[in-house]
Homo-oligomer: A and B are copies of this chain.
């Protein structure tokens, strides 16, 4: 597979005169292939094709969509080497990480294939007619979840595979029967196009209509805006900056027909070092914290950006261990020059805030490398305003030393919504942990004990989501099988003749879907 620089509009390669170059994360040097910049007409064409494809795509058997997802996963598997090489150049992420992410992306596609074959996600409910009921007979009522319509998926800069062109949102939307118009992240146009060809080939090999998938690229914000505003688009999946996400969310809400916008925007993922755990293992915690913080330049939405602990000698030991580990941490190239600049200016601004001191910095590196940083402030300073609770994307974190555990509680009550909250605790910390739990359940989508938040398992029980601004819609997750719910809506059929019912609701149950009959399963 070669990179061509094309937009992939259904089955067509479309080239535009205005081009942009991918650049190496390392030094900003241009990488091969000049990529076409999508224009308004391209957005419209892709969305119109998606709309045309929707009715037949959503009517396909769950098995057929599962085979399509499996085929996409196999396509990625077959080209893993080339994909990873290009992703390394475009993102600066190390090989092992990208290989793991590539596996994860295949895993996501296969997880939704499994969910489709199981069929529970369609939530079929049948309340049969009761012709003899008095005073009025009951009609036959059948419900199934159907796709919401074409979905716009915005690739994220920090996961060129798992949250991009064929990433989680694409997998769950396609599983739901929704065509996808993907907006390639301009920081990795090459890997986006390679992935796009894989999905498109799977569309063709599966005999699906071409409009099931399109890929649009270019650096302009206008492309994303046009996509969110296009009347054919019925939902949006987005992972990115708070400012960018809020702007797109406002557009989605201001449309003549508002649509669901699933944005993952911002989190600092508080980590609580409860007193007895800190006492027992301050050094290990300090070291493991820095490992989690600095992994791949801290470019994770689940990065531990806030550490809470009660002041005392054990915290001193943690500080010392963290500082030592930090000084040993290698500087890792950041994803883009812009992200690196934002990191540097965020860290510089934090360092100058009153009441904030720098506990240490990691080793410096190349011009676009992330020099890790650890700051400290008092609980009073943290609670004085929202500024210290803002995410700085990258390997920086803020330790808040609390005078007592009551202050830790009070500070927690004022936090914004989070993707995760983590408790490090010893058995004797249980009473304090118990008192924190209700607040953490309100604030976070996932609560962990004695781990670090940066690993997100791929499974049925995962929730990668959370209250605003962690996400714009805390009712859903973007990872795990429950993510398919984002792109489904229920439809009820009343006394509809067998031949007109969708196959998922027919008496003969051709898809062998699990069904609730009068509420029983």
Interface residues of A (CB under 8 A from B): 55, 59, 114-115, 118, 120, 123, 125-127, 136, 138-139, 141-143, 146, 148-149, 253, 257-258, 260, 417, 427, 430, 433-434, 437-438, 441-442, 444-451, 455, 457, 459-463, 465, 467-468, 472-477, 480-482, 485, 488-497, 499-500, 502, 516, 518-519, 521
Contact = CB atoms under 8 A, between A and B. Distances in A.
Most chain-B CB neighbours within 10 Å: which of A136, A455, A477, A489? A489
B442 A516 contact: no
B127 A460 contact: yes
Nearest to A475: B489
Given A467-B489, A481-B519, 10 more contacts: A120-B521, A125-B461, A127-B462, A138-B459, A143-B480, A257-B467, A446-B492, A460-B519, A465-B489, A476-B490
B257 A148 contact: no
Nearest to A138: B457
Given A143-B460, A492-B446, A497 B149 contact: no
A209 to B, nearest CB: 13
A463 B492 contact: yes
A496 B461 contact: no
B258 A472 contact: yes
Contacts of A447: 491-494, 496
B445 A492 contact: yes
Contacts of A475: 148, 260, 485, 488-490
Nearest to A386: B256
Contacts of A463: 143, 490-492
B139 A451 contact: yes
A495 B450 contact: yes
For the complex of A and B, 3 pairs with smallest distance between CB atoms: A463-B492, A143-B461, A125-B461
Contacts of A142: 461
Contacts of A465: 489-490
B460 A516 contact: yes
16 contacts: A114-B519, A125-B461, A136-B455, A433-B500, A434-B500, A447-B492, A447-B493, A449-B494, A449-B497, A460-B519, A465-B489, A467-B489, A475-B485, A476-B490, A477-B492, A481-B519
Nearest to A505: B461
B500 A430 contact: yes
Contacts of A494: 446-449, 451, 457
A457 B495 CA distance: 12
Contact of A118 (B59, B257, B519): B519
Contact of A457 (B127, B461, B496): B127
Most chain-B CB neighbours within 10 Å: which of A258, A461, A490, A518? A461
Nearest to A417: B257
Contacts of A502: 441
Contacts of A473: 260
A378 B252 CA distance: 34
Given A143-B463, A500-B437, A148 B472 contact: no
